[in-house]
Structure 1
Amino acid sequence: MDHKILQSTRELIEEVGYPAMTVDQVAARAEVGKAAIYRRYASKAEMAYAATMHGQRLSPLADTGSLHGDLLALVRTFHVHMATPAARQVAPALIAELAANPELDTRFQDTFLTAEHADLAEIIERAVTRGELAGPVDPTLAHLLLLGSLAAGLYIINLPVDDTVIADLAAAAAAGIAALADRHNSAPGGTARPD
């Protein structure tokens, strides 16, 4: 049932556009009741976000052996979903809904963002274990540096994001995360903070 709802949502966004799509249309196409949709998603925007961006990641988190490589693999995965015409319609609508609906914002934080932060926490932990980072970094800051920059480029600046830009974002995020790790895990004077 979940697959049918998300697939129907994607199809309708492509056919009629996000603004014209309704939950009734999705329910009819997926052959489910509206209640089944609202048990899963608090709003049309949340359902569309899951269908176009978040619910489509099929591959497990890559372990490339380096912080930069892991970040590059992650940002490439997200770019595939975030750069689609459907995602470009849905993301601004979702941002507007999050600002107006605290309950939806909490759900979004607790589901989608928690999963993304967990991925980044795993990447950071591996980098610390490999000795690439001086210590842990808040995954929320890593998220802002990498995926926040990608979202701003795609949805606000309307930057043509190609693989060169993606590689630059990953390099900048890796450098920023390393700088934060150094800053947060060193005492004044350059010695490591005691645990």
Structure 2
Amino acid sequence: MPNSGQQLGRPRDAQIDRTVLRAARELLAEAGYAGVTMDATAARAGVGKAAIYRRFGSKAELLFAAAVHGMDIEPPPDSGSLRGDLHALARIIDQRLSSPGARQVAPPLLAEMARDPALAARFRETFIAREQHDLAAILERAVRRGELPGAVDPSLAHLLISGPLFMALLAFQRPVDDGLLHGIASVIAAGLIARAHEETGRESGAAGGESRPAGER
């Protein structure tokens, strides 16, 4: 399976990683998404094309890593609350998606993924999985604090926080300020906490029902 940037961050490859991504960003700014090729990126970076393909399976994956994020992202520092952590993450997502490069890459990338299920699967298994990993860390903090009574599916939280920001920034092209980011984070935090309590209550009720004698049901 193509690496989709999974080697980013290894010390022996760090310089090549930075050079390739910088070359891709420069070409994207100069020629747009359609004008970027793996050959041109290799020539600009001064590396062999095989070195790029060892890191990225396609131009789409290369440009996403160059313009949005690679596989080396981390969750924001612990703010002390689920709402605060989600607010900090919303700020990060806003920064990633509102850059000129991200705005150039998103529309053609979505079109390519719609035409190519294998590409979409690779994105789910790499970049999206990494985003969900970071959300899982945020949710685990909330469980340790006692804000969440149990585990929450990070894929659900990922959809809830990335969807509104993607639509606002890239579909509706509306300005996003910190007040909106705070509102999105607050609503999502409240919803996740309510759902977790609902699920815990349902599980407790089911367990209690199973333990009662038949005549007491």
TM-score, normalising length from structure 2?
A: 0.81
Q: Find the aligned partners of 1:10 and 1:127 in 2 and give their Cα distance.
A: 36
Amino acid at match of 2:183: D
Q: Does 1:174 align with 2:156?
A: no
Matches within 5 A, 1:95-134: 95-134=110-149
Q: Find the aligned partners of 1:136 and 1:193 in 2 and give their Cα distance.
A: 18
Which one is further off, 133-142 or 58-67? 58-67
8 Å CA contact retained: 1:49, 1:87: yes
**Equivalent residue, structure 1, for 2:92:** 77
**Equivalent residue, structure 2, for 1:21:** 36
Amino acid at match of 1:155: L
Listed as ranges, the gaps of 5+ residues in structure 1 are none
8 Å CA contact retained: 2:75, 2:138: no
8 Å CA contact retained: 1:88, 1:155: yes
Matches within 5 A, 1:27-176: 27-55=42-70, 61-176=76-191
Q: Find the aligned partners of 1:67 and 1:192 in 2 and give their Cα distance.
A: 26
TM-score, normalising length from structure 1?
A: 0.90
Larger radius of gyration: 2
8 Å CA contact retained: 1:75, 1:146: yes
Q: Deviations over 1:160-192 (max 9, x none)?
A: 11222211111121122112212222128xx66
| Structure 1 residue 133, shift from structure 2 partner | 1.4
Instruction: Provide the aligned C-alpha RMSD in A.
Output: 2.1
Secondary structure of 1:132's counterpart equals coil
Q: Find the aligned partners of 2:156 and 2:94 in 1 and give their Cα distance.
A: 19
Amino acid at match of 1:170: A
Q: Find the aligned partners of 1:156 and 1:46 in 2 and give their Cα distance.
A: 21
| Structure 1 residue 105, shift from structure 2 partner | 1.7
| Structure 1 residue 193, shift from structure 2 partner | 6.1
8 Å CA contact retained: 2:75, 2:134: no
8 Å CA contact retained: 1:18, 1:86: no
Amino acid at match of 2:86: L
1:4 aligned to 13, 16, 19, which one? 19
Listed as ranges, the gaps of 5+ residues in structure 2 are 1-15, 209-217
Q: Deviations over 1:17-74 (max 9, x none)?
A: 2222222221111011222212221221111001111129766531111001111111
How much identity, in percent, do the aligned residues show?
A: 49
Q: Find the aligned partners of 2:75 and 2:137 in 1 and give their Cα distance.
A: 12
Which one is further off, 51-60 or 62-71? 51-60
8 Å CA contact retained: 1:146, 1:169: yes
